[in-house]
Structure 1
Amino acid sequence: MVQPENYFLLDPREATFKDLMYLLFYSDLENRNFVDTSIENIHNDLCRFRGRWIIFVSIVVQKLMILLRKPLSFFGFVLGFWLNLPSSNGGFFKIFLNLVQRRFVWPEKTSATFASLNGNLDQRIDLGLGRSIEIGDERYKPLLSIMASKLSYENENCIRSVLQDHWQMDLLGFYTCRNDYDQTRSTEVIVIRDTKQNPNIIVVSFRGTDPFNANDWCTDLDLSWYEIMNVGKIHGGFMKALGLPKEGWHEGRINSDQTQNETSQLAYYTILRQLKDVFNQNPTSNFILTGHSLGGALAILFTAVLMMHDEKEMLERLEGVYTFGQPRVGNADFGNYMKEKLREFRVKYKRYVYCNDMVPRLPFDDKTLLFKHFGDCLYCNSFYKGKVEEEEPNKNYFNIFLVIPKILNAMWELIRSFIMSCWQGREYREGWLLTCFRLVGLLIPGLPAHSPNEYVNVALLANFSRPDSQHLSNEPLLHDYDHSD
């Protein structure tokens, strides 16, 4: 069982205008209607104006996202329709011809040919992408992981088509799981079986933030936390998305033996049951966890909950966790707990960060929020030169002295998009939509850097080396374990 020592939960739906005004001018957080906490008197940096201002902004933006839920979803629908119109009709110039000949095809959101925004930004679907990356190559599993993470943004029929026709793999499960706190189904997970490897590898990929899903944005912006004894503080929004039940959490009844009715379609329990069924049928299989953005946070927290539940058999089958553009998920105590457990169970943890990607630099690592990354950062710059660092440069993103360098780097990335195919090959050619997205990066540096496209390139092109000064001990690195030993 898992018993929270303390908790601090924020519910934007309960926040009134009066609450928000009181929040700005009074430090008694525990007395606000939208705050549910086990702490009777909060006396820390969160009560100071900077902490209250961060909470204020978080709550206001979440309320705005809730208000715009339907318009945002409708905008995503319209944009998806127009982006998929050419591919549904055989090309842009055939749209008018098909209209005249009455053969016009309306894009269908659930069809195998319908691509998400991420799918349109980067249309590459083949593993290897002309690089002849074979099973056993050290780049194979990172590439498989980021491609699975990118694929998780698509609809079920599209995923099944790519797996069968291009990857020769099996789709074992496509789940849209429930958040027990807001009663929405916004956590999507796919389970893939790679039969080309012996033993078979099961890939569990958590979908990242859907840019047109207000619930995903609220999850990212939620500053709630749980503090678990001997574990540390964990991001509450991500834990809710992972599927921790609302009833029973405070009583510590969160365990993997809860009945299927109690945990029906909650992500953690659904995936755990799926994996146990697979391993009962194929006892030699192992699995990896992966995800991009929010999906990366859910992947490492899935691992954490396995550890808290002492799922030793599952952890012995876990070969590695590969995350791309993952935000911070806990405090320093949680990081120390995870490092110890990852070593104990010899689980590889590879956390990839591309250049100025803003998401891995959130929530802030400061004395107010206390969030910290753990393990090694596989950092890659805009020339796809990689190195292993303890922390990504400019760890909190916002730095007035780095604004101009970031804009200059965004300009280089825009220029690079036109020469990439000449530099690395035709499979790196970027389309008009991605080029337009890079123009946005001139105004918001670090936003295009979060695209899965960049992480696919990182997996293919970057080699990661550790600075000589960091070779300090004989202890194996978190990302260097060989699970086959």
Structure 2
Amino acid sequence: MRSSVDYLTLKAESATLLNLFLFTLSYKFVDIRKLVDCPTGKEQSYTSFGDRWIIVSFILLEKILVAIANLLKMFNTMRAKIWGVSQETYAPKVKCRDWRIEVGKNLNLGDHNEFIYYGALTIMASTLAYEVLSVIQTVVNNCWKMNLLKCYDFWNDFQGKPTTQAFAFQNTAKDPNVIIVAFRGSSEIGDWLVDFNVSWYNIEGIGHIHDGFMQALGLQQDTDWPKELPPRPDNRQFAYYTLRQLLRDIAKESDNARFIITGHSLGGALAILFVTILAFHGEFALLKKLQAVYTFGQPRAGDRRFAQFMDNLTKK
């Protein structure tokens, strides 16, 4: 049982088609806990026809996406065995002119010019996040003349596999004090499973937040959001905790360090929620070093209370 005050998690894997059909007819025909997980006593909140229709529709959608993902995996395996075609994705040849950042090239950074320059840089970084490791390395180190710190493939405790990718780099070309973290957006069916997961999660004093995004960021199945993650025997890395430690280490080494977080689509939602959980954990030393958050095509991450919380946070 999760420890959040309030939440709703769809149980697509365990829900059967018969359960979904009966639940559509009437909530009395099937135990709602076969379809969703929620705090004890909240079950009656989801018995109206509208709520039941939403639950059934999105569980069916998740099942369809999982089936498609399994078919693609099977096809790739068969193709490799029959035709000897490797399942590996080969990196395209990098042309630096395709990754050039013209905006800010001849600008003296400061206030408005800096905003324009980092807007352009984060657009490119959010795009680059979709590429394979070798491309990211070549573009950051050779084309941009910056310092790639690390690329990550983070674990999702609820899907039981890595679903979240990000990379961090240092702007040694313009200002070595600036560290940029770029989250990758939706590019695989596993990412769409995160996007279309309409489960939600409530944080007291913050608001209701998209549970699929929280899971991708590093939400823990049994302990939710502990401030410090207990040691795990499997040594899995989770996006929030790993990146927070990276920024902590950098902040200790440099008083002048500044951080920029960015991402496109799903990556934009993760960028915003990363800052949210920093605030939730009282990481104000890191937040004071946060220069900006640039998101592009970002989906809605939470309700109006969440939006107001973030608005108040930026004003502080």
TM-score range, shorter chain: 0.7 to 0.9
State yes or no: 1:221 paired with 2:192: no
Give the C-alpha shift of residue 25 in structure 1.
Answer: 1.9
Q: Which amino acid aligns with 2:304?
A: A
Q: Which amino acid aligns with 1:49?
A: F
State yes or no: 1:237 paired with 2:212: yes
The answer to which structure, 1 or 2, has the higher relative contact order (CA under 8 A, 6+ apart) is 2
Q: CA 1:75/1:192 → structure 2, altered by over 3 Å: closer, same or farther? A: farther
3-state DSSP of counterpart to 1:4:
coil
- State how far apart, in whole Å, the 1-side matches of 2:12 and 2:87 are: 36
Give the C-alpha shift of residue 27 in structure 1.
Answer: 4.2
Gaps of 5+ in 1: 78-105, 116-122, 345-485
Give the C-alpha shift of residue 61 in structure 1.
Answer: 1.4
Could you tell which deviates more after superposition, 156-165 or 51-60?
51-60
Residue 326 of structure 1, aligned match among 283, 295, 298: 298
Which residue in the other structure is 2:276 paired with? 304
State yes or no: 1:128 paired with 2:127: no
Which residue in the other structure is 1:35 paired with? 36
- State how far apart, in whole Å, the 2-side matches of 1:32 and 1:150 are: 40
Q: Among the aligned pairs, what percent are the same residue?
A: 33
- State how far apart, in whole Å, the 2-side matches of 1:203 and 1:284 are: 14
- State how far apart, in whole Å, the 1-side matches of 2:183 and 2:228 are: 22
What do residues 405-441 of structure 1 show as CA deviations (whole Å, max 9, x unaligned)? xxxxxxxxxxxxxxxxxxxxxxxxxxxxxxxxxxxxx
The answer as to whether partners of 2:251 and 2:286 remain within 8 angstroms in 1 is: no
The answer as to whether partners of 1:232 and 1:331 remain within 8 angstroms in 2 is: yes
- State how far apart, in whole Å, the 2-side matches of 1:260 and 1:134 are: 46
Q: Flag the structure with larger Rg.
A: 1
What do residues 14-46 of structure 1 show as CA deviations (whole Å, max 9, x unaligned)? 1101221123222469724021001524455x5
Residue 340 of structure 1, aligned match among 288, 297, 312: 312
Which residue in the other structure is 2:248 paired with? 276
Which residue in the other structure is 1:109 paired with? 89
What do residues 432-476 of structure 1 show as CA deviations (whole Å, max 9, x unaligned)? xxxxxxxxxxxxxxxxxxxxxxxxxxxxxxxxxxxxxxxxxxxxx
3-state DSSP of counterpart to 1:124:
helix
Q: Which amino acid aligns with 1:36?
A: D
The answer as to whether partners of 2:3 and 2:222 remain within 8 angstroms in 1 is: no
- State how far apart, in whole Å, the 2-side matches of 1:231 and 1:132 are: 40
The answer as to whether partners of 1:19 and 1:32 remain within 8 angstroms in 2 is: no
Give the C-alpha shift of residue 132 in structure 1.
Answer: 4.4
Q: State TM-score, norm by structure 1.
A: 0.57
Which residue in the other structure is 2:140 paired with? 163
Q: How does 1:9-408 map to 2 (within 5 A)?
A: 9-27=9-27, 31-42=32-43, 47-72=47-72, 109-111=89-91, 113=93, 124-128=98-102, 132=105, 134=107, 136=109, 137=113, 138-198=115-175, 200-210=177-187, 213-249=188-224, 254-261=225-232, 264-344=236-316
CA RMSD, Structure 1 to Structure 2 (Å): 2.8
- State how far apart, in whole Å, the 2-side matches of 1:43 and 1:140 are: 52
3-state DSSP of counterpart to 2:13:
helix
3-state DSSP of counterpart to 2:51:
helix
Q: CA 1:174/1:18 → structure 2, altered by over 3 Å: closer, same or farther? A: same
- State how far apart, in whole Å, the 2-side matches of 1:27 and 1:318 are: 47
Q: CA 1:299/1:289 → structure 2, altered by over 3 Å: closer, same or farther? A: same
Q: Which amino acid aligns with 1:338?
A: M
- State how far apart, in whole Å, the 1-side matches of 2:286 and 2:76 are: 38
Q: Which amino acid aligns with 2:207?
A: G
Paired residues in the alignment total: 301
Give the C-alpha shift of residue 173 in structure 1.
Answer: 1.1
Gaps of 5+ in 2: 78-85
Q: Which amino acid aligns with 2:98?
A: R
3-state DSSP of counterpart to 2:8:
strand
The answer as to whether partners of 1:146 and 1:324 remain within 8 angstroms in 2 is: yes
What do residues 263-299 of structure 1 show as CA deviations (whole Å, max 9, x unaligned)? 7311100111111122222331111111000000000
The answer as to whether partners of 1:208 and 1:293 remain within 8 angstroms in 2 is: yes
- State how far apart, in whole Å, the 2-side matches of 1:230 and 1:160 are: 40
What do residues 276-335 of structure 1 show as CA deviations (whole Å, max 9, x unaligned)? 122222331111111000000000000000000000101001111111001111111111
Give the C-alpha shift of residue 209 in structure 1.
Answer: 0.4
Give the C-alpha shift of residue 157 in structure 1.
Answer: 1.0
